[in-house]
Structure formats: structure tokens, C-alpha cells
Amino acid sequence: MLLNFPQVVPSDVCLACDGCCRFEHARSPWRPQIAREEQSFFVEKKGCMCPVNTADEDFPQPCYVSTKPWHAQVKCCYFQAKTHRCDIYNERPFDCQLYPFLLVKEGQQHKLGLHLSCPFVLEKRYQPSFEELIGRVKTYFQTKEMALFVQSNSQMFSAYEEHRPEIEVLDSI
Ligand code: SF4
Ligand code: SF4
């Protein structure tokens, strides 16, 4: 099952930006996670993800896309650095679709966050159209399907610790 989240940032904006899909190091908290419902798809069709530990249903481990060394950093294994394109764009993980919105853990609470470092967010955050977009994302998470998704994917919510100043926490989900 691959969830279908509405496009947040226009593709042409992302194609001209170097903010996503490349990370400082192989354990970066910004690597996208693969949701439990998506893992079988990636195992069967693509095979480019961390090893999955499904043994512990109550405390699932986060599962990230794999990375490859890239200059002094790493890049997602699906990222074509020369063209800035994602090999699996139409089937990319939900976490990639969601960004610059984030799944944030605050204590035991699950929250929707917004990464203020994304250039698109920096430019648009206080425009009425962006407030409308935030409203649509909040509504998206209020569906029964997303309530079940959140329930079965608590491992995807991250505290982001030292990166917290870059994150606006929007709402509980
Ligand atoms: S940081 Fe924002 S604008 Fe840049 S590629 Fe990522 S989502 Fe697109
Ligand atoms: S799966 Fe695609 S969109 Fe997601 S990080 Fe990798 S290259 Fe980027």
C-alpha cells in the first residue's frame, strides 16, 4: 500500500533546489522512512531500503531508505544527482511525499510539524495560500485511514532533538 498524499511543493521548485534527497551522513535524521505498509512493496519491487525488523510488533524499528556515498555526504539510493530526479518519484515513500511536513514526537504525543528550512516554506509560510495548505494537510490526517496509519507507524515520529529550532509544531495528529 502506498499512500497518496497531495503534492505540496511544485516539482519545478524542487528540481531547482538541493535541499532534499542528500544528507550529511548515513544516519541523518532527515533520511525518509518507509512506513510499515510500504515495506513489502520496497522489498519486492525495489530492494533499496534498510533491513526490516518485523519481529517486534509493539516496538517497530524505524526503516529508512538506504543511502550511498556522494561527495562528502550521502544521497538516497533512488536519487539521480545529475538530473535531480527521483527514480521512483510516483512511488516514493509517504515520508517523501509529506515533506516539508514532518511527523514529530513530543513526549508521547504525535504531532504534525513543518520544516522551516525548506526554501519553499521560507518563502510562502505566511501567505494565505500556505495557511490553506496547512488546513488541507490537517484535514488529510483526520481521516480514519490516516488514524490507522499513525497508530501502526509510531516509529516514524521523531523528536528531531537538536534540529527542533528548525521545526514549527502545528498540531496533534
Ligand atoms: S527543501 Fe523544499 S523546495 Fe527544496 S527540494 Fe526539498 S521540498 Fe523541494
Ligand atoms: S525516494 Fe526519491 S524523493 Fe525520497 S529521498 Fe529518495 S530520491 Fe528523494
Which protein residue has the closest C-alpha to ligand 2 atom 2? Answer: 86
- Who contacts 133 (Cβ-Cβ below 8 Å, separation ≥6)? 8
CA of 106 from ligand 1 middle (Å) equals 24
> Residue 52's pLDDT is what?
52
Q: Which atom of ligand 2 is nearest to the CA of 96?
A: 4
**C-alpha span between 17 and 100 (Å, rounded):** 13
Instruction: Give every CB contact of residue 146 below 8 A, 6+ residues apart in sequence.
Output: 140, 173
CA nearest to 136, candidates 118, 128, 149: 128
Contact yes or no for 39/45 (Cβ under 8 A): no
**pLDDT for position 45:** 66
User: Residue 140: how many CA atoms within 13 Å on its side-chain side?
Assistant: 18
Quick check: is 3 in a domain?
no
Q: Whose CA is nearest to atom 2 of ligand 1?
A: 118
The answer to whether position 72 is within a domain reads: yes
* Full residue range of the structural domain in which residue 27 is found: 11-172
**Residue 6 is assigned to a structural domain of this protein:** no
Nearest-5° angle of CA 34, CA 114, CA 112? 65
Residues with Cβ within 6 A of ligand 2?
Answer: 20-21, 32, 65, 76, 78-79, 86, 88, 92-93, 96
Q: Is position 61 within any domain?
A: yes
Question: Is 87 inside any structural domain?
Answer: yes
Torsional sign, CA 141, 142, 146, 150 = positive
- pLDDT confidence of residue 55: 47
CB 141 within 8 A of CB 173: yes
CA of 79 to the centre of ligand 2 (A): 6
pLDDT less than 70: residues of the chain: 1-3, 45-60
1: in domain: no
Which residue's CA lies nearest to atom 1 of ligand 2? 92
Q: Count CB-CB contacts under 10 A for residue 19.
A: 16
* Residue-level pLDDT at 60: 62
30 found inside a domain: yes
pLDDT on residue 61: 75
Task: Note whether 82 and 134 are within 8 A (CB).
Answer: no
State in Å: Cα 121 to ligand 1 middle. Answer: 9
Write out the three cell numbers for 71: 561527495
Query: What total of structural domains would you count in the chain?
Result: 1
Ligand 2 atom at minimum distance from 20 CA: 8
Nearest CA to ligand 1 atom 5: 14
